[in-house]
Each structure stands twice: as C-alpha cells, then as structure tokens.
Structure 1
C-alpha cells in the first residue's frame, strides 16, 4: 500500500507533484495564517489529488481549525477528506490517530504548556496503531532547529515508547526533515516537512509503502507486524 506524506506546505502546495497513492496524508500547517480563504484554496487542491483516501490534521498555523472547529471540519469533510483532531480512524485497513498539538511557543494555534498538560493529552494516544500523525516531533527526533534547539516534546516521546506505532509522521520543524530511529524501538519516525527553511523552496513528498497488519499481527513492534519501506 502506497502512502504519500506531506506537512508544512504553507500555501506552497501548487509547487508539489503528488504521485498517485492509496492514502495521502498531511501532518498540518497547510495554511500560512489559517484564514478561511486559505483553507478553502488548499482543500480545492488537496481534494483533487489522485488518492483513494485523504487524511488531514491541523498545525499551529491553521487557526481556523482551532477558532471555528465546526466550520473547519465541515469544509474538510465536504472536500472528501478525513480530518483527525485527537481522534482515531480506520483508513484503508490502517489504524491512524492524529493530533495538532505542540508545546507552547508564542501565540500559535493548538499550543499546550509543557509538563502535565501535554503529558495528559498524549495519554489519549492508543496502542496498536499503524500510523501516528502529530504536527510536532517527539524530543530528539527530527526536532532540531537551525539555532540548535531541540524543540520536540519529551512527553510525546515517552508515550510513543509505550504505544509503539509502526510509523510516527510529523513536521513543524522544517529544517529537521528526514527519517529517524531509536535503538530498541521498531517505530520509524518521519519528519516530512515540505517547506524548507534555508534555502527557501519545497521538498518533494515522501512516499512510503506500508501494508495493513495481518490478522496474526502483534502490537509489540516485532517482525509479525509487517514492514514499511520508503519507495
């Protein structure tokens, strides 16, 4: 099964070439400032991509999704897109859970204070996921800024260690694009930010092959879970 992964397109989506796929996923920051016009413009483009299923979460720039959640959800659903805001969906045989939350920084959308607030929030992530989508990265994995700051969330990393999704997809930190692993953990961590920080421009979407679990699969990250590969 082919997954195409996007994040942090910030209204530069027209510059991307999205290959046909089974599931098209966007990990948030599809707008610059979350205005309704931006949301509608992005959705017109996103809805026309050649994909059997489309999944979207918001990011810290996507203010409409926080300030007018019913309107945003209606617009997204009318475009034929699955919208996840701290919830799970079964998509093309995959268990997926998505969240827009990131540690507080400035006056952005979907921010929570580090510590108990975020730790309690991440406890909602269930076990047995094929794919976890968060806008922001876990601590130490795809989270280093140009200034050398590790901006990821420690409590998110702790929860991922517990629930062990097969893939953890995120963005938010544009300059930390790439794949990351942790010793002893089968989870693959993918920062799929499309917009570059320096130099400016966009990166192509990341394509991943991921098969649904077989009925005999386990949830402990072992070899029975099935593999995932970058196409």
Structure 2
C-alpha cells in the first residue's frame, strides 16, 4: 500500500523570480546589487535523493528529524490568520488530516488552499462526496488536494488486495464493489486533485504525490 509509507501528501512548490535585463545600459553599483538580490531570490527546489524510494525517505527523515534539517527545507515563522495580505502577494492556506471532520473548522482567509492528505477516515465514496461539498463552500480561488494514507480507495492495487484478503479491520471498505471506487477521484469536482502530477497556480508550480 503506497500511502502507508507516507502519512500525508507530499507537496513541492517552485517559485521562479525573473531577473530583469536591459540592452545598451550602463549599470551602476546599485543596479548590480539589485540584480544580485533578484538572482538570490530565484528559488529552485531540487529533487530529493530519496524521492525514488519513499520508504527509505520516510525511514531516514523519521530517524534524523530531531537532529537534522533537510537542506531543501526552510523554517519560517507562521503568519497570524488575521494579518492583512500585502499587495501582490499570494497567500497559501495549508491543512491536512481533517478526517471528515470539517464542520467545526474555521478556515483563514487566503488565495490558494492546499489539503495535504487524509481528508477522510477510509476513503469511502460517501466521505469523499462530503469533503467535496465542503470544498465547494470555501471561497478560495484555487483548491489543491492530495490523497493521504487514509484514502484507501484511491489506491487501486491496495483495494484489489484488500478485497481478496478481506481484512477484518477494514470491513466497510473491503465490502465495496470495484464499480463503487474505481473512479472515486472523479467525485472531487471542486478542487484540483494531484496524484504524481503538478499544476501551476498564480505562477507557483505545485507538485502533489500521496507517497
């Protein structure tokens, strides 16, 4: 089961800042310094060396997370939910693990919502429909969703094995017929669903994988 190896969806974003250029211009020291600042603002997210082996990646970072910070991860201070957004900025709201309990949640203002996995308990079609309805009630311009390890029905190979073995701890899922879950992703009509895919939103490239 591929989602058992990674608790939530993995998201990567790449923001590219273009360096202005001109022809036939004499650059002063201030121009050079400004150009260098623009160059340093160019952010490239490199592919992690363990990206081809999710189990190894989880094991490595789980063991070392207390004393080692991955080089491509930068810690930032959280922004208060009620803080005004500066002009020209894009505000991302990132959540996960809502597990079909979205009714009492008060969502902060933002432009792009990212739900990084575990939006249901078991991935039942009824749960997915309820989650999709909740997404439709939210005012975000873009809503990006990635599956997590609780979205069992989103993993076709796992479901095939589950039905054959009839695991007793997933009775409500193992009793589903293939026609009930084969296209369960199509129930997500109020968002952009990413499964080993990417989308560009307001100039930001977002890659989503449930590993």
TM-score by length of 2: 0.44
Q: Which has more helix, going by share of residues?
A: 2
Q: Which has more strand, going by share of residues?
A: 1
Q: Return the index of the structure with the highest Cα Rg.
A: 2
- Greater length-normalized contact order (CA 8 Å, ≥ 6 residues apart): 2
